[in-house]
Structure 1
Amino acid sequence: MRKLVVSTWMSLDGIFDAETMGQWFNPYDSVSRQTYIRDGILGSDAILFGRKTFEMLAPYWSAQKNNEMGVAAKLNSVDKYVVSATLQKAEWENSTIIKDNLAAAITQLKQQPGNEIQVEGSAILVRSLAEAGLVDEYRFLVHPVIVGKGKRFFQDGLFQGLELIDTKTLDHGVLVLYYRPVKSK
């Protein structure tokens, strides 16, 4: 059975807004961070996206043909699933649209052989997955800056206990925090 792993990059105050990455993400670039990101992508058997994240990444990565950054070939060849009630076509190679019955579809994907289904960003989708009890692990790449405004990864209303299972310190004070949801008793 495969694990469903949520992988996201954020500021210390939970901002993951792509429009402000120049403030909180770009200044903390390092070889150790690049390696962490690359290893995570290369270690996935499938990638799950919400519609907005898919539409943001698909045009760029589908056009990459020389294995840019060491991950383009993987991103273009791996099975990709996009959850959307409105998307009509997913033209990125090996992409499938999941339109309804999210819990059943994801449960079926998790039951297939392999190691890991990775969710990239996709905060709205993650909330639905968390509420359905489908997330097995969270991996937060936390940058040491407080942005103060922007899109937060977790919106009001979601409550989920987490157990810290590992940490990793990267260059420039960037942390990787690994959490597992605490199952209700």
Structure 2
Amino acid sequence: MRKIVLQMMTTLNGRLDDPLAWMGTVVDDQYRAIDRLYAGYDTVLVGRTTYEEMVGYWPAALEDKENGETNRVMARRMHDYRKIVFSRSATQAISAWHNAERAVVPDEAALRRYLTELKAEPGADIHLSGGASLAQTVIGLGLVDRYHFFVYPVVSAGEPWFKWLGEKTELQLIGTERYDNGVVGLHYEAMRGAKAGRPKSFSDLIA
């Protein structure tokens, strides 16, 4: 079965909104690591607002001869991916883009059904992109199988990733990297069914 993968930039305190307020540069070794992960996807899940931001950048980047090789490869990936744009209603149209489609999911139950069926289809893994509301909802539904965070060495007040998480979710560390700009890549797999009980005291935590 395909995996839903959340791959995002964030801060030390887990901020997800307004990246221009806290995000630093994306250096070459970090961008190459991001691209290697993107090579494993064939579908992107995205909210309408974030989708329109993507349409405003990636189609032109595909034709821009001034861009570096990694950015051109990424633009080609974005062009080729199946892009599923989620909204609660179909009242607002989305801009045309190659391989993009609208998914109307009026509530969380409909979203859960849609994504469960999507994961059962043949294909590569599925990238859960922004916006914040969509990402937080899918996390809260327990449907994210893998997390790739690129953590910038900064703290910044804002909306956190896991604010709406209903219960503790156990994650298994599957990899780490450090990049030339001080960003750290943290990679986790969700551990299904691993629900450790609350310890009675700190002494219970000592192996």
> What does residue range 10-159 of structure 1 map to in structure 2 within 5 Å?
10-21=10-21, 23-26=22-25, 29-66=26-63, 68=67, 69=71, 70-86=73-89, 87-100=92-105, 101-147=110-156, 149-156=157-164, 158-159=166-167
Which whole-Å deviations, capped at 9, do the CAs of 1:33-79 have from their partners, x for residues lacking one?
11012222232111111222212212211233337512111101110
Query: Any stretches of 5+ residues in structure 2 without a counterpart?
Result: 196-207
Distance 1:8 1:133 in 2: 17
8 Å contact 1:90–1:96 — kept in the other structure? no
Distance 1:130 1:160, change over 3 A: farther
Whether 1:165 aligns to 2:174 is yes
Match of 2:188 in 1: 179
Distance 1:160 1:139, change over 3 A: farther
Identity %: 30
Distance 2:4 2:164 in 1: 23
- Secondary structure of the residue that 1:65 maps to in structure 2? helix
Per-residue deviation, 1:179: 1.6
Distance 1:174 1:62, change over 3 A: same
TM-score (norm 2): 0.77
Distance 2:3 2:164 in 1: 26
Which whole-Å deviations, capped at 9, do the CAs of 1:94-115 have from their partners, x for residues lacking one?
1111112211111121112222
8 Å contact 1:62–1:93 — kept in the other structure? no
Count of residue correspondences: 181
Larger Rg: 2
TM-score (norm 1): 0.85
Per-residue deviation, 1:90: 4.5
Provide the aligned C-alpha RMSD in A.
2.1
Per-residue deviation, 1:19: 4.9
Per-residue deviation, 1:170: 1.8
Distance 2:170 2:189 in 1: 6
- Secondary structure of the residue that 1:45 maps to in structure 2? strand
